Structure 1
């Protein structure tokens, strides 16, 4: 295992410390308990947005803290949910009296810990709503979740719900738009190689040199099946077909196409995948109105990618276009 780390047990602490130093103009880092807030939190009269999960998915979630997106992010250990004693103070820190929305990926630990934190925050007088993200079409159940996993669609939920909160929507309205995004986005991923969790020191699953894993999750958990390596167009076809079938897209609809790197794939290869996905959508009469390509929700150094398709309406498109200023995503400012 070759990694730019010191003590494997200190990876998250040192990474979050470095993140805070690098982006001190945008965020404030609490070391104990560990969480990240936007520099100007709490914003008066604004609904707060809090998300979090295991580390190893950077820039998710801390990279999306800032104007137009999250108010706080709570990092757990690598591929491990944050605890309620982190989530509660993060929730309280961004509450301005308008309430807080928790955006939670559908993994058992995340769901249980955010649920506990929400109950305790409400006991302290903070109104909390939860948006559960479960956009992965690959697996209905896994070791980590009951039902579909929350994967690439999380970025889109955070951006669009964040814009709704920034424009002044109330608590229920922000939660509703987050739910609407989740209901209209589907994702599927592929791994060309496994990742190595620092404290484990060995790959999270086995792949032969000529094998790939279709339908992987973001914690290195295996997917639907292993197949022989194919070219980029063949792999993209395999990812996009179940997405469009499950989403039920029809000719004339408008979508956002998101090709996400898993951490170890060159941007040039992601654009090759995007090229083929855009061709398929065009062949079906589906208009790609917005796009996003890059490493936004990763799995350490895994080689591979995920493809997400979000069915857009006018409001979601406007909220996507709204200004955002975070360490990892920014435009319009």
Structure 2
């Protein structure tokens, strides 16, 4: 019999059915008429009680006389009724345990596969410069909302600047918000000046600062390009980042740099403050004891230009050496921040 039918009948084992069973045990058989008379039941109720007791295996037909119903012990009824269920449950438990074991064996495969998939989806490395540039150009052409860049160093080759100007003008013409950060030393390059002026006139924005993080391009806050850096060797490979949390973090870094940078390309009135920023950065690095080559590299200028600035600073501070210039500037409180910038 189906489990649902047994449960349904079991729910109907009320006090009347239990009393009828007690009478049947006393008499040695179940007689519907006698039980109906003793318990004041209708014929239909007596028949219902009989069905309940038979479903629960508490009444059995007598061998040779199937119309005579004999009561059996609850233990015997329980074994007959529940034995097959318990056997089935035992088989199901074994089946469940076997399936659980088989599925558990696949867990390492799943997690390793997910790890590899997440890595491929979130990060990728491209080592060919032409492929990197082609991918960047393609994504810039399809950009929709925003492009953020950080360009370390000073002047770039003229053909790269011309290509960058066309790309920037195309983006701003499509309503893309463009924010680019250069180093202060880029201000002295005519090609970079022309780029900043032309694109600023159409709505793009440029700023400069003394030191920046490495090169960075973020497109539509969905994908970012970073240079791959290996401690043991120089590399021109790029890491492509698509993981949302990391991309948002890089956008926050860009925003922090942007807030402290000076406008570039909108007018020429900011030349003196920028020059002061450059000299102040040089003084700070000198005070930290860095060599000319490192100072020049961090500020995106040639060593020759750096040394020229150091000479001018030493003259202004009446210092006999580069180290004395840094110490003197620190003692005079010249390493503090400039006035707030927009």
Q: Please report the TM-score for the alignment, with normalisation by the length of structure 2.
A: 0.30
Higher Cα Rg: structure 1 or 2? 2
The structure in which a higher percent of residues are helix is 2
Of structures 1 and 2, the one scoring higher in RCO (CA 8 A, sep 6+) is 1
The structure in which a higher percent of residues are strand is 1
Q: Please report the TM-score for the alignment, with normalisation by the length of structure 1.
A: 0.31
